[in-house]
Structure 1
Amino acid sequence: MIISTVSIQNQRSIVAASSVALLLASATPAHADEAMVQAVQDFLHAQASEQGDGEELMIEVTPPSAHLPPCRSPEPFLPGRTRTLEGRLSVGVRCGEQGRQVRYLQAEINRYGAYPVLRRDLEAGTQITAEMLGERQGNLSELPRDSVLEPAAIVGQIARQPLKAGVPLQTRQFESERLVERGQQVVVEARGAHFRVTREGEALDSGGLGDRIRVRFGRRELIDATVIGKARLAIDF
């Protein structure tokens, strides 16, 4: 197994990349196709740079079996179902000038970086402020799928449950501050390039900033509008 690491500073470029950091002779066949393995590493580095920002990557590629013939002119690609370059994945390689032979190598990608945590325990119903958040470094690939990675994603939101300090946060633990309550009388603003009209109606759903909820005018007229403030909604034309 060949392991390499690389640091990503922005989504379009790799500022610093290390050479192969570790070569385990016991796990690498004597006749491993090093050119193919290197091509896969370079390919994954380039692809991963588009999905990460300010993170360090560790990429492990398992070399092919020793009994396979060399792969000439290797062209790596990702199978159709591969979306996120994280964890264990399979990488396809077309071999030969016309790519008639296809092989698959196993790789594992781990991302290391910072993620927000609470400085102190919070009760349910608490609105999150930037001062409540600290930072912790770790393997982002081991966090739950819906983990919060950017503080801005939860600042201003409300904790839906009691939360502990110092542990990874998940988006499902938060909700937008309710600016409209179900059954409340609200003002709906219809706006366009050359007009702006307001009407009063009844909210049929509760919602926070940016949520789309139903509003009823009279007995039968229903519309969907976007929450823009306290008891205020808007429809854009």
Structure 2
Amino acid sequence: MKSPYLPAALSYLLVAIVLMVAAAAARAQTAPPPDTADELRALLSRETKSAPAGTRVEFTIGQLDARLKLAPCQKIQPYLPAGTRLWGRSRVGMRCVQGPVHWNVYLPVTVKVYGQAVVAGASLGQGQQLAAADLRLAEVDLAEEPSPALLDPAAAVGRPLARALAPGQTLRQSHLKARQWFAAGETVKLVAQGPGFAVSSEGQAVTPGIEGQAARVRTDNGRIVTGTPVGERQVEIRL
């Protein structure tokens, strides 16, 4: 005699099997793509060959977002996205070029570039005018912050600090207060540079010449030009 409960039991069994298969498929979709560590390391090594001389480069490959659901792929091609600089926290592209679905994702990487740079020899306060005795050279990660690290202590001597520094902390351009090369109304030297030539003249500063900021200068014929302050009462114009 057939049990009246058998069809129901089979139904529950089929549902359980379907759920197990679905779960397995979901796990397969969210799993990271096949191992491409060798190709990634080759790409990173090739793209970081232009690091400054005398430095050593280390890089760490991060993880893809666990929430991504990627279709299976037989061939994954790593690449460097346009405009990307492998310096500090960055990323590389990963695209599936052989599989049922051609997907594209980005993988985080951290690039460290170790080299000699200027560091604080002791605790230095905000606004403090730097002396040679306050600074020393040490090996640091040049790529740890976007602002360039200072490589020559002489470039910092006499400059006031824009922020306090801890002992051993790397001194970067953003840590120094901008210099004012001239005031508005002063006579300045204009140096216009182009491919293979340079022309000098004089003008009157319309705006102050602050380091890292554009300055406006009125020439002898009354024309207003914009250039970059590069030294004491000196403005450079690129043609």
Interval containing the TM-score (normalised by the shorter chain): 0.5 to 0.7
Deviation per residue, 1:46-72 (Å, 9 max, x gap): 22334565123133365999x965624
User: Could you say which residue in structure 2 is the equivalent of 1:56?
Assistant: 57
* Greater helix fraction, Structure 1 or Structure 2: 2
Give the secondary structure class of the aligned counterpart of 2:129: coil
RMSD: 4.8
The answer for the alignment partner of 1:173 in structure 2 is: 175
Q: CA deviation at 1:221?
A: 4.8
Specify whether residues 136 and 70 from structure 1 end up closer, same or farther in structure 2 by C-alpha distance, changes over 3 A only.
same
Q: Secondary structure at the match of 1:46?
A: helix
**Cα distance between partner residues in 1 of 2:109 and 2:200:** 56
Q: Rate the CA distance shift 1:176–1:46 in 2: closer, same or farther, 3 A.
A: same
- Residue 76 of structure 1 deviates from its aligned partner by 1.8
Query: 1:1-237, aligned counterparts within 5 Å?
Result: 33-34=34-35, 36-51=36-51, 54-60=55-61, 62=63, 69=72, 71-72=74-75, 74-80=76-82, 82-84=84-86, 86-87=88-89, 89=91, 91-96=93-98, 101-102=102-103, 104=105, 106-114=107-115, 115-120=117-122, 121=124, 124=127, 126=129, 132-139=134-141, 143-146=144-147, 148-152=148-152, 155=155, 158-161=159-162, 163-164=164-165, 165-175=167-177, 177-184=179-186, 186-188=187-189, 198-199=201-202, 201-207=203-209, 212-216=214-218, 221-224=223-226, 227=229, 229-233=231-235
The CA distance in 2 between the partners of 1:39 and 1:235, in whole Å, is 44
Q: Distance in 2 between matches of 1:235 and 1:68?
A: 54
Alpha-carbon distance in 2 for matches of 1:191, 1:124 = 34
CA shift in 2, pair 1:154/1:173, >3 Å: farther
Contact kept, 8 Å, 1:214 with 1:224, in 2: the verdict is yes
Stretches of structure 1 that go unaligned for 5 or more consecutive residues are 1-30
Change (3 A) 1:71 1:172: same
**Paired letter, 2:168:** G
Q: 1:62 to 1:188 in 2, by over 3 A?
A: closer
Structure 2 match to 1:9: none
3-state DSSP class of the match of 1:40?
A: helix
Measure the CA separation in 2 of the matches of 1:58 and 1:99. 32
Aligned length: 198
Conserved 8 A contact 1:110-1:140: no
Distance in 2 (CA, whole Å) between partners of 1:78 and 1:230 is 42
Cα distance, 1:106 vs. partner?
3.5
C-alpha contact (below 8 Å) 1:179/1:230 kept by paired residues: yes
Give, in whole Å, the separation in 1 of the partners of 2:33 and 2:200: 71
Contact 1:209–1:228, Cα closer than 8 Å, also in 2: yes
Asked if the contact 1:37–1:61 (Cα under 8 Å) also holds between the matched residues in 2, the reply is: no
Using structure 2 for the length normalisation, give the TM-score: 0.55
Query: CA deviation digits over 1:98-150, x for unaligned, max 9?
Result: 99734647443241513421224366373676x75323445555x3332x324
Q: Structure 1 CA distance, aligned partners of 2:169 and 2:125?
A: 12
Separation in 1, partners of 2:141, 2:197: 52
Q: Distance between the aligned counterparts of 2:73 and 2:86, measured in 1?
A: 29
Instruction: Give distance in 1, aligned partners of 2:197 and 2:93.
Output: 54
- 1:43, distance to aligned residue in structure 2 (A): 2.0
TM-score normalised over the length of structure 1 = 0.55
Q: Quote the Cα distance in structure 1 between the aligned partners of 2:170 and 2:105.
A: 34
Identity level (%) = 12
Amino acid paired to 1:202: Q
Q: Which has the higher strand share?
A: 1
Change (3 A) 1:190 1:70: closer
